[in-house]
Amino acid sequence: MSNTDIFSPFQLGPLRLANRVVMAPMTRNRAGPGNAPTALNATYYAQRAGAGLIVAEASQVSPQGLGYPGTPGIHSAEQVAGWKLVTRAVHDAGGRIFLQLWHVGRISHPSLQPGGALPVAPSSIAPAGQAWTLDGMKSYVTPRALDIAELPGIVAQYRDGAANAKAAGFDGVEVHAAHGYLLDQFLRDSTNRRSDGYGGSAANRARLLVEVMEAVAGVWGGERVGVHLSPTNLAFNDISDSNPAETFSTAVRTLDRLGLAYLHLVEPGPADPVGPGPRLDAAFFRPLWRGALVANKAYDLARANTVLRGGAADLVSFATLFIANPDLPERLRRGASLNAPDRKTYYGGGAKGYIEYPPIQG
For residues 180, 182, 184, 190, the Cα torsion angle rounded to the nearest 10 degrees is: 70
* Per-residue confidence (pLDDT) for residue 142, from 0 to 100: 98
* Per-residue confidence (pLDDT) for residue 362, from 0 to 100: 67
* Per-residue confidence (pLDDT) for residue 154, from 0 to 100: 98
Mean pLDDT of 94-101: 99
Among 205, 199, 185, smallest CA distance to 246 is for 205
Distance from C-alpha of 214 to C-alpha of 257, rounded to nearest angstrom: 10
Report whether pLDDT(116) > 90: yes
The per-residue DSSP string of 156-201 comes to HHHHHHHHHHHHTT-SEEEEE--TTSHHHHHHSTTT----STTSSS
* Per-residue confidence (pLDDT) for residue 1, from 0 to 100: 62
- pLDDT tens-digit map of 214-249: 999 999 999 999 999 999 987 789 999 999 999 999
Q: What is the DSSP letter of 144?
A: E
Task: State which H helix or E strand residue 353 sits in.
Answer: none
- pLDDT tens-digit map of 158-209: 999 999 999 999 999 999 999 999 999 999 999 999 999 999 999 999 999 9
Report whether pLDDT(276) > 90: no
- pLDDT tens-digit map of 54-97: 999 999 999 999 999 999 999 999 999 999 999 999 999 999 99
**Largest distance between two CA atoms of the chain:** 62
Among 144, 245, 246, 231, smallest CA distance to 201 is for 246
- The size of the chain, in residues, is 362
Active site residues: 181
Among 68, 190, 63, 71, smallest CA distance to 130 is for 68
* Per-residue confidence (pLDDT) for residue 273, from 0 to 100: 75
* Per-residue confidence (pLDDT) for residue 272, from 0 to 100: 82
Mean pLDDT of 141-161: 98
Confidence of residue 271 (pLDDT cuts 50, 70, 90): confident
Report whether pLDDT(251) > 90: yes
Mean pLDDT of 294-319: 97
The whole-chain average pLDDT of the chain stands at: 96
Q: What are phi and psi of 315, to 5 degrees?
A: -140, 160
